[in-house]
Amino acid sequence: MKAFRSPLISIFAALLFVLSGATALAEDADTKQDVQIAAITVNLNSASAQELADKLDGVGEVRAQGIVKYREDNGPFTSVEQLLEVKGIGMATLEKNRARIQL
């Protein structure tokens, strides 16, 4: 029985080692993605509708034009949360893009 237990312990230890490395790689990939998203920023107060549509996730031409119109009608954005006042922009869209938005 001892001869059988030793290979099982080795296999179990190897499996734990591999899984811990995979977890570290996944965490590293998440960190790189966050940095990449943060590097893509757009200024709500100066970007064109095309730039807003290109750089904001879930924002197409119509919503981007709505952002520009809101800015023209109400003046510059003073908070990111003001974006919620634009027709078609909800909390999910805001949260997906929060790291990309500058004022």
Query: Mind listing the pLDDT tens digit for each residue in 29-52?
Result: 555 555 555 568 999 999 999 999
Question: What is the structure's pLDDT at 40?
Answer: 85
Phi then psi for 34, rounded to 5 degrees?
Answer: -60, -40
Helices (H) and strands (E) in the chain, counts: 4, 2
The CATH fold assigned to 42-102 is DNA polymerase; domain 1 (1.10.150)
Can you tell me the mean pLDDT for 14-42?
56
Pull the structure tokens for residue 9.
């312990």
pTM over 0.85: no
Question: What is the structure's pLDDT at 15?
Answer: 46
**Single-letter code of the amino acid located at 20:** S
Sign of CA dihedral 33, 34, 40, 44: positive
Query: Mind listing the pLDDT tens digit for each residue in 42-99?
Result: 999 999 999 999 999 999 999 999 999 999 999 999 999 999 999 999 999 999 999 9
What is the C-alpha R_g of the chain?
Answer: 23
Can you tell me the mean pLDDT for 2-18?
56
Domain ranges in the chain? Answer: 1-33, 42-102
